Amino acid sequence: MIPSTFTYQKVNSVEEAIKALSSADSKLLAGGHSLIPTMKLRLSQPSKLVDIGSIAGLRGIKEAGAEIIIGAVSTHQEIASNKIIQSKLPVVAQGAASIGDVQVRNKGTIGGSLAHADPAADWAAVILALDATLAVQGSKGSRKVKATDFFKGMFTTALQEGEIITAIHIPVAAGSKSAYVKFPQPASRFAIVGCAVVKNGEGKINIAYTGVSSCPFRDSGAEKVLAGKKLDAGTIQAASNAAVEGMSILEDHYASEKYRKHLAKVYLKRALSAIA
């Protein structure tokens, strides 16, 4: 339970962080609530930690035109308690407040969670349903990655070597009617099943899951069932019937494949009922 030896560098800008990352085996440190446990288990053995937690430009939440921009090192707690988020994107506050416990929410960051890409992490479902975009910066410059293109598999994302998530951009119109519900693991609170639903600016309902499969995903099958329809008991049941069909479902000692699939359908029903 003791990590292997590493050096530590605190940086004050994204440019400094990118430079520091260029040395072999360096890793970014944000809240440390995913990285440090893996280092203690020696699943990860970086030779250098580059601490981005104090970069002022990466923290904070602001409204800019039609979107809300969340800095990558904003903690789950800062997001959950932010007034703009609470009034304009309540599903984001809901998702943030459901993460772990007070200590985890006070230290863990949205950027760290997205980069880590734990298949049971809550942020993934929320930002997928919201059609968010991630701003990313590396030695070759900046780029934007759609949330729907970001998650590539278990603990695997579209981030390239040395790239840093700098912010998450969320269209404000996406938040009008939305909900995030989850069946939490009783100790860690990670999602055994987490389901986010969002009625977007055009009135289409986006559905996203975390915890269900090795990679978070948008459920296009269930979304199709609802396309152009009014939400009522019949359409909610039809979407629930179609939910997670054809997906490869995780099975572990918390929940069998059959039980997880059942939960996914029940939680979609709950989420849709909350916005009907």
Ligand X SMILES: Cc1cc2nc3c(=O)[nH]c(=O)nc-3n(C[C@H](O)[C@H](O)[C@H](O)COP(=O)(O)OP(=O)(O)OC[C@H]3O[C@@H](n4cnc5c(N)ncnc54)[C@H](O)[C@@H]3O)c2cc1C
Binding site for ligand X (CB under 6 A): 27-35, 37, 72, 99-100, 104, 108-109, 111-113, 115-116, 118, 121-123, 159, 164-165, 188-190
Cβ proximity to ligand X: between 123 and 243 the closer is 123
CA 196 to chain centre: 11
Residue 114's contacts (CB-CB under 8 Å, 6 or more residues apart) are 72, 121, 123, 124, 127, 134, 150, 157, 165, 168
Cβ proximity to ligand X: between 87 and 160 the closer is 160
We find the least distance from the C-beta atom of residue 72 to ligand X, in angstroms, to be 4
Cα separation, 3 vs 275, in Å, equals 46
3-state secondary structure of 263: helix
We find the least distance from the C-beta atom of residue 135 to ligand X, in angstroms, to be 10
Cβ proximity to ligand X: between 34 and 200 the closer is 34
We find the least distance from the C-beta atom of residue 26 to ligand X, in angstroms, to be 9
We find the least distance from the C-beta atom of residue 179 to ligand X, in angstroms, to be 17
Residue 228's contacts (CB-CB under 8 Å, 6 or more residues apart) are none
We find the least distance from the C-beta atom of residue 64 to ligand X, in angstroms, to be 19
Cβ proximity to ligand X: between 155 and 235 the closer is 155
Strands (E) located in 107-251:
133-138, 141-146, 151-153, 156-157, 164-171, 177-184, 191-199, 205-210, 217-218
Contact of 89 with 169, CB cutoff 8 Å: no
Cβ proximity to ligand X: between 190 and 217 the closer is 190
Tokens of 11: 């940086």
